[in-house]
Amino acid sequence: KGNVARAELVPEAENFVSYDGEMPEVGKNVSEIYLAEVSNRAIAYCLNITASGFGGDIELVIAIDENMKIRGVKTISHSETANIGAAALDEKGKLLPQYTNISVAATDGVVSVSGATVTSKAVKAAVEEAVETVKEIEKGGGVQ
């Protein structure tokens, strides 16, 4: 599912290479980072991250491009309540589409889904952690 999510978030990528650098401390919930590449040049980071939702862990893939723009968020797995938190995590729901093609500075403008506040806050925290992780990697020279 992670490979499919990465390909959907960064469709122009020719391949995805596992990031083998040091994981920044701010990325405590990040399990893996992949670099989306075109012509052997990294154009985006794809982070596998776990958030604590209402019903348990929510596994997400978050893509952030080289211009610090959030490409989008995809759900890999979750245990959220059907028709409430689960509906918020649906690609056609009200939450995840808000994270498509926005500046990393624009996450404050994302609105929680009524009835799925815990889920909404969990996703927002995951996105913010992913952004901070990428910022730390970039401070260290980023990807080559």
CB-CB neighbours of 113 under 10 Å: 20
Per-residue pLDDT of the chain (144 residues), as tens digits, is 789 999 999 999 999 999 999 889 999 999 999 999 999 999 999 999 999 999 999 999 999 999 999 999 999 999 998 888 888 898 888 999 999 999 998 988 999 998 999 999 999 999 999 999 999 998 875 554
Inter-residue contact 37 to 17 (CB < 8 Å): yes
- Distance separating the N- and C-terminal Cα atoms of the chain: 27
Angstrom distance (rounded) from CA 41 to CA 37: 5
Cα 95 vs. chain centroid, distance in angstroms?
13
Residue 137 dihedral angles phi and psi, to the nearest 5°: -65, -45
pLDDT for residue 144: 45
- Local structure of residue 119 (DSSP, 8 states): H
Residue 52 dihedral angles phi and psi, to the nearest 5°: -95, 105
